[in-house]
Amino acid sequence: MISSKELLNKTGISRATLNNYIKFGLLRRPLVMNPGSEGDGPRQLGYFPDEAEEQIRQIRRLKGEGLSMAEIVSRFVSARAESDKSDNLDLPTHLKAVPVSDPPPKVLPPALPGSELRLTVDEIAHPAYMLNYNFELIWFNSAAQKAVFGGIETLPATCDERRVFRLLADQGASEELMRFHAGLAKARLPANQFHVLCQGLTASTAAQLQQFFSEAMIEAPRQMLHVPITLPDESNNGQLLEHTTYASFFREGIFIAAVPEGSDTISLMEFMARRDEMIRSLLKRRLPVLTHLAVLVADLQSSVRICSELPPEEYFELINEIWAAMGPIFRRFHGTYAKHVGDGMVYYFFPEPDSNYLSNALYCAQEVRREMQKISKAWQIRKNWHNELYLNTGITEGQEWLGTFQASTSFELVVLGDTINQAARISDFARHGCIWVTKSLVGKLTSEDRAKLHYGVRRHDRDGRDTFVASSFSTVASLDNGGNVGTAKHSDIATLPITEMVEIAETA
């Protein structure tokens, strides 16, 4: 360990700068100890881990690269979160620890990440809100409701109405705010897709946004951006004040917070650095939304028989191998994992600005079938058996409510409605790895995507021969699928028109 005195001498920084680094959470809180000195020497000194010297040099380098203190704080606090799980430090044997007074000495105040009082979502006093990457508003606090969104009473029900540009335009938002959000969109979307976010706006507003989008500077990829924006400040009777507006990018979306000039930002930075806790808190608070979606359900055929033929460890190995192989495919086509039972798979596909969620589901199903054929062949060779492994797939679409179910330690996204039940019934009806798709989904494909789709229904003639009738549909009750029609569990989809997807042509 290194004393505060040695640290100041080696780095050349002032004690005031050292105290600021501790206050900002850039350095660990020092341990105050008796250095074992005699006579007039100090009776207590603050001791830092040996890496503190290198951390100070890193801060200097980042400053030299033009990063703001807010960005440096975000980087350091996030990286330090893992190492802060344990405070077991190796101490020189001649140092005797002494209790730290409460409150600690003013010379070395504790860093916020080490304190027990930490900012939470509900305690953010300044405007804060979160967007998903469709640029739909999924959460906002009361300060953002007033300062950014013009006092809207509640979040609209549908995804289209929650698009941030539509909300801002309806409330007559300032050009600053419009440009800021257009810049965020430019960092995420190709130019030919931005028009999707402008749907529902007047022609003049859409044209103005397109101009802001084209003029926006694309920021270099960073974890956090910050820009000055003038907003009304409720604590000053709605007076217009300049705010530093932070945008922090996460896998789940963009968290935005606006802090008035002169206000404390440290607790907010510390909160944003606790990534998992922050995202979990925000997503738990998201309100249900009525959204379009496609649902894909895939189930392992004859899983009970396969389970009976394999030792337990090999059966679980097979199921885990299937899940491990399919996971990247679903992610590539923007599938969202849903709760499953046993060895089945359930995935949601939601609208995306830069791709079609319906065709995403179809391309994904095709790739899953190809991957399953490889797994089946590998297990035939391994076990020297003739079993074919099939994932039977059902896909449909609809408009349903998306929300969250919360437990004490976790939450999960849940879709309510008949769409999932339909997809599950169709999957159960399918056989031999077939992909069955509802007529409603095919009808909602673009003409370009529908032209790529090879689909139809197999009919039996009087002589018992199979004839494939392309580009056709049939109700479930009219199909003879190996005696799998007419059971009670298929009665609720008996009149549902479906078709077999043979193939969908790859995009160029």
Q: Is residue 97 part of a domain?
A: no
* Structural domain boundaries, residue 262: 121-274
pLDDT higher than 90, residue 286: no
Q: Do 130 and 149 touch, CB atoms closer than 8 A? A: no
Could you tell me if 243 and 204 lie in one domain?
Answer: yes
Kindly state whether residues 306 and 249 are assigned to the same domain.
no
Q: 237 and 348, same structural domain?
A: no
Cβ atoms of 270 and 75 closer than 8 Å: no
d(CA 179, CA 211): 9
pLDDT score, position 435:
97
Task: Answer yes or no: is pLDDT of 274 > 60.
Answer: yes
Phi/psi at 434 (5° precision): -70, 155
465 lies in some domain = yes
Say yes or no to pLDDT of 406 above 80.
no
Per-residue tokens: 314: 């090999």
pLDDT in tens, 85-94: 333 333 333 3
What is the dihedral angle through the alpha carbons of 415, 321, 306, 309, rounded to the nearest 10 degrees? -150
Is 16 in the same domain as 131?
no
Q: Of 382, 499, 364, 501, nearest to 440 (Cα)?
A: 499
Residue 494, domain member (yes or no): yes
- Phi/psi for 246 (5° steps) reads -100, 135
In a domain, 86, yes or no: no
Q: 483 falls in which pLDDT band (50, 70, 90)? A: low
The predicted-structure confidence for 425-467, as pLDDT tens digits, reads as follows 999 999 999 999 999 999 999 999 999 999 999 887 777 788 8
Give the pLDDT band (50/70/90) at residue 371: very high
Q: Has residue 281 been placed in a domain?
A: no
Task: Specify whether 340 is located in the same domain as 402.
Answer: yes
Q: What is the mean pLDDT of residues 39-61?
A: 77
- Phi, psi (deg, nearest 5) at residue 300: -75, 120
Yes or no: say if 361 and 403 are a contact pair by the CB < 8 Å rule. no
Residue 508 pLDDT greater than 60, yes or no: no
Q: What percent of the chain has pLDDT over 70?
A: 81
**DSSP letter assigned to residue 495:** T
pLDDT score of 22: 75
Match 């990829």 to its residue by tokens. 221
Helix axes 175-186, 203-215, angle to 10 degrees: 60
Residue 487 in any domain: the answer is yes
CA end-to-end span of the chain? 60
pLDDT in tens, 92-130: 333 333 333 333 333 333 333 433 446 677 788 899 999
In a shared domain, residues 356 and 493:
yes
**Beta strand extents in 214-267 (DSSP E only):** 224-233, 239-250, 253-260
Q: Chain-wide mean pLDDT for the chain?
A: 81
176 in the same domain as 50: no
> Any idea what the CATH number is for the domain that residue 154 is in?
3.30.450
Q: Is the pLDDT of residue 253 over 50?
A: yes
316 and 249, same domain (yes or no): no
- Cα–Cα distance measured from residue 492 to residue 421, given in angstroms and rounded to the nearest whole number: 9
Question: Which pLDDT value is given to residue 319?
Answer: 92
Could you tell me whether strands 391-406 and 435-438 are parallel, antiparallel, or unpaired per DSSP bridges? Answer: parallel
Residues 6+ positions from 121 with CB-CB distance below 8 Å: 141, 278, 281, 282, 285
CA distances from 54 to 21, 26, 111, 335, 373 (A): 13, 12, 18, 43, 53
The mean pLDDT of 260-280, rounded to a whole number, is 77
Does the residue 299 lie in any domain?
yes
* 142, 190, 240 from 236: Cα distances, Å: 16, 40, 9
Domain boundary among 247, 274, 301: 274
Q: How many domains does the chain have?
A: 3
Task: Choose the most confident range, by mean pLDDT, from 52-66, 145-159, 289-303.
Answer: 289-303
| Residue keyed to tokens 């217009």 | 240
For residues 459 and 467, is the Cβ–Cβ distance under 8 A? yes
Tell me the β-bridge partners of 85: none
Report the range of poorest mean pLDDT among 153-157, 159-163, 292-296: 153-157
The closest of 10, 11, 15 to 106, measured between CA atoms, is 15
Read off the pLDDT of each residue in 246-261 and give the average, rounded to a whole number.
87
> What CA–CA distance (Å, rounded) separates 46 from 26?
16
Is there a single domain that holds both residue 298 and residue 256? no
369: its two tokens: 């079938």
| Mean pLDDT within 178-184 | 93
